[in-house]
Amino acid sequence: MTAPQEHEQQERRRHLAAVPEAGPEPGAQPTVRTVPGHVVGTSAASGWAGAAGRRLGALLRAGLARHAALARDWIADNEVEHRARLAARRRITRDRVHAEKRQAKGKTEAQKADAEVQLARAQREPGEIEVTARMAGIRSMRAAVCAAVPTGVVAGPVYLTLAQGEWATLLAWPAVAGYLAVQEWAAGTPTGGAVAPGSAPVAHAAPSQAHPPEAPVSTGAGPSVLDPDPEPEAGQDPPVVARSESEQRVLARLRRWAESAAERNMRGVQAGEPVLDELGIWVRLHLSGRWTPDRVRKHEDQLRSMLGVATRTRTQLLAGAADDDMVLRIRTRSRDLDTTWSPTSHGLGLDTDTGEPVDISDADRMLVCGASGSGKSWALRPLMARTVRTHHDHLIYLDAKGEEGRLWRGRARVATSPAEIDQVVSELHHEMVRRGQAMVGTTWQGPRLVVVVDEGRVVLSNCEKATIQALIDISAMGRSRGIVLRWCTQYPTTSGEQPGVHKQILPNVDQQLCLRVRSAIHARVGLGDEYAHYKPQEIPTEAQGAAYLAGYGPTLIQGWRLDDTAVAELPERDPWHYGQDDADVEEEDDWIGAQHAVTAALRDAGGQASQSALVEATGYSPSAVKQALKELKGAGRVTKGESHRAPWRLL
């Protein structure tokens, strides 16, 4: 190669080699290379398209993640266990009703024995195996639904397009994508970047007053649970810091209230700042739009599901200061109360919120209902003991079950067999009629008779029709005449072949005490339609003696525990019988009533009768009749002949 050729080749290599670009000098303008005939464009269009794509992708990913989380929560919802237990209890109720019908219609001993075996099985609580199996079935069904929806959206248009030629079905994909994007955009999901699967925006509750005056908090001031380390203010109790796992779960979901409420079409219900105190969690709810307190109560199960409340934890929806305010109570805690009865104990029992005693009037007629094992008999003992300890009052105990009555013999008039109950009720009815004739005013001023019927269903099934009618009359007219009826049953129904309380007795009661019952139907009878939302069917099984009192508010009352030993230590009393001397009260304070009774008896006897006949006709004691005749003779209304056996005559 000649020298000129070698030089030319080196020049060609130098021009073809990559030359490093030098950066612009400091302060110099960048050099822009242009091509003739072309307009120099910027990257704004491509940048906007990229940002929009990233925004749309983030919305779609967030929507898919949110709906996947919703599906997961729906499948693993705590409400599944609640539904499974309700279904198991409904099955037991159907079995019990079927067994009772078979027992009533059984003609042979074998049929009746078989029905009794089935009835005994139907009295048991649902087994955990059955509940677990039902939970598995419900969750499997929900999982199948959650899998079927996306599968149908993805595969359905492909099948219809290939098999049927329906190309328009492919529009389902952009429609679903648009739906997810719009949902996330409406929910205000951040779109500056990709949203991690399972993450969701946290909606913090608006700050509110920690303890509003109308909030149902009895003592102390609970700290805000949104503050992880609240500091107690001067003069306040130290904050509650030991939170259980279930409380942590509820509080975490309360922080996402706005998002969760929107997903469940409850945007008109807004939650304030939750507070944790010695009774659990409470939060104020503000209602707007079409939401009313009654509508919120109907959606209580949905609220429990949304917050992940444990199945055995009670919730209460209380009235707020205004019609558009409510307070949601989640009873994750309870007071440690000493409910041992003593002679100084007062009332039915203690309010589980305040620890204060709750009482009713001695003159109030009462319905007490509760399932077997709920502590119904124990709930009555404090009131029965008070009657025994009151000198002038008498206790009459119609114990159709024959179990509790043996403890009260020697302290009350006890009847257990149907014949004994018929006899005692007949005497009570005659006493009510006698007192009505002897009354001067509108209220009886003499000794009070407290009549306890337990079990009402057995009485209605086994006693004579005349006895049942007499009890209806006593429930309607006995209160003003000093005869108070208290009806107890574990089957609070008014219809069917064997009702627990007669439909003509229920409207006459003044108080309704309801312990744990089996169903919402029993709750409506036990507390009335107005207070059935207390939900006594959700009282825990282990809470024996705990009850709701209609009209007292949805606050549990824990009854006094008066055991057999305490009953045996009550003072002994002579049992009441019709026609007996009602102590000095009748002789001293009721002689005016005896005058009316004697006058009526003389008129019924044709104008004359002996003193012994007047005692038998009026039911008053001989001394009361003698005093009444003396006063009537002094007033010139009756007279008697000189003979000792001469009858008294009405002038």
Q: pLDDT by residue (tens digit) across 98-127?
A: 777 777 777 787 777 787 777 777 767 777
Q: Which of the residue ranges 48-52, 201-205, 310-314, 561-565 has the most confident prediction, judged by mean pLDDT?
A: 561-565
CA 262 distance to own-chain centroid: 26
Helix (H) or strand (E) holding 534: none
To the nearest whole percent, how much of the chain has pLDDT over 90? Answer: 28
Tokens of 398: 């119609």
Tokens of 4: 């000129």
Domain ranges in the chain with CATH number 3.90.1070: 245-331
Specify the CATH number for 245-331; select among 3.90.1070, 1.10.640, 2.20.230, 2.40.30: 3.90.1070
Query: pLDDT-based confidence at 41, cuts 50/70/90?
Result: very low
373 assigned ligand-binding residue: yes
Classify residue 515 by its DSSP letter.
-
pLDDT in the model for residue 515? 95
Tokens of 92: 């037991």
Of 67 and 647, the structure prediction assigns the larger pLDDT to: 647
pLDDT in the model for residue 46? 54
d(CA 449, CA 576) in angstroms, rounded, equals 9
CA 70 distance to own-chain centroid: 28
374 assigned ligand-binding residue: yes
Residues 271, 253: contact at Cβ < 8 Å? no
Tokens of 474: 């006593």
pLDDT in the model for residue 208? 33
Write out pLDDT tens, residues 306-354. Answer: 998 888 788 888 888 888 899 999 988 888 889 999 988 988 999 998 8
pLDDT in the model for residue 602? 86
Cα–Cα nearest to 358, from 504, 226, 622, 555: 555
Tokens of 122: 């139907």
pLDDT in the model for residue 34? 38
Domain ranges in the chain with CATH number 3.40.50.300: 349-568
pLDDT in the model for residue 1? 52
Write out pLDDT tens, residues 400-428. Answer: 988 888 999 999 999 999 999 999 999 99
Decide if pLDDT at 206 tops 60. no
Classify 401 in phi/psi space as left (phi over 0), alpha (psi -120 to 50) or beta.
alpha
Residues 428, 413: contact at Cβ < 8 Å? no
Helix (H) or strand (E) holding 280: strand 280-287
Q: What CA dihedral angle connects 574, 576, 578 and 581, to 10 degrees?
A: 50
Tokens of 491: 């089957």
Residues 296, 285: contact at Cβ < 8 Å? yes
d(CA 182, CA 408) in angstroms, rounded, equals 72
- Tell me the residue length of the chain: 651
Decide if pLDDT at 37 tops 50. no
d(CA 426, CA 471) in angstroms, rounded, equals 9
Tokens of 11: 């020049």
371 assigned ligand-binding residue: yes
372 assigned ligand-binding residue: yes
Of 621 and 490, the structure prediction assigns the larger pLDDT to: 490
Decide if pLDDT at 19 tops 60. no
CA 15 distance to own-chain centroid: 92
Residue by residue, DSSP assigns 325-371 as: EEEEEEE--------B--TT--SSEEETTT--EE---TT--EEEE--
Domain ranges in the chain with CATH number 1.10.10.10: 583-650
Decide if pLDDT at 203 tops 60. no
Decide if pLDDT at 487 tops 90. yes
3-class SS letters over 309-329: CCCCCEEEEEECCCCCEEEEE
Alpha helices in 166-225 (DSSP H): 172-187
pLDDT in the model for residue 550? 94
Classify 412 as helix, strand or coil. strand
Decide if pLDDT at 143 tops 50. yes
- Compute the half-sphere exposure of residue 114: CA atoms within 13 Å on the CB side of its CA: 10
Residues 6+ apart with CB under 8 A from 194: 54, 57, 58, 61
Decide if pLDDT at 578 tops 90. no
Cα–Cα nearest to 389, from 452, 339, 342, 451: 342
Decide if pLDDT at 192 tops 70. no
Task: Describe the crossing of helices 418-438 and 611-618 by its angle, rounded to 10 degrees.
Answer: 110
Give the range among 14-23, 154-163, 322-331, 485-494 with minimum mean pLDDT: 14-23
| Pairing verdict, β 325-331 and 314-319 | antiparallel
The dihedrals phi and psi of 577, each to the nearest 5 degrees, come to -140, 150
Span 349-568 CATH architecture: 3-Layer(aba) Sandwich (3.40)
Write out pLDDT tens, residues 67-91. Answer: 777 777 778 776 777 778 778 878 8
To the nearest whole percent, how much of the chain has pLDDT over 70? Answer: 79
Mean pLDDT along residues 609-626: 80
Tokens of 637: 């209304």
370 assigned ligand-binding residue: yes
Query: pLDDT-based confidence at 167, cuts 50/70/90?
Result: confident
pLDDT in the model for residue 445? 80
503 assigned ligand-binding residue: no
Decide if pLDDT at 228 tops 50. no
Mean pLDDT along residues 211-226: 36
Residue where the block lists tokens 């003739």: 36
482 assigned ligand-binding residue: no
Of 262 and 191, the structure prediction assigns the larger pLDDT to: 262
- The chain-wide mean pLDDT, for the chain, equals 78
Q: Report the CATH number of the 583-650 domain.
A: 1.10.10.10
Classify residue 160 by its DSSP letter.
I
pLDDT in the model for residue 242? 67
3-class SS letters over 96-135: HHHHHHHHHHCCCHHHHHHHHHHHHHHCCCCCHHHHHHHH
Q: How far is CA 541 from CA 330, 349, 371, 461, 644, in A?
A: 18, 18, 10, 28, 69
Residues 6+ apart with CB under 8 A from 146: 71, 74, 75
Decide if pLDDT at 33 tops 80. no
495 assigned ligand-binding residue: no
Classify 563 as helix, strand or coil. coil
Of 54 and 327, the structure prediction assigns the larger pLDDT to: 327
The dihedrals phi and psi of 65, each to the nearest 5 degrees, come to -65, -40
pLDDT in the model for residue 9? 52
Alpha helices in 494-621 (DSSP H): 520-527, 564-568, 583-589, 591-604, 611-618
Tokens of 360: 């009713």
| Pairing verdict, β 314-319 and 280-287 | unpaired
Write out pLDDT tens, residues 448-479. Answer: 999 999 999 999 999 999 999 999 999 999 99
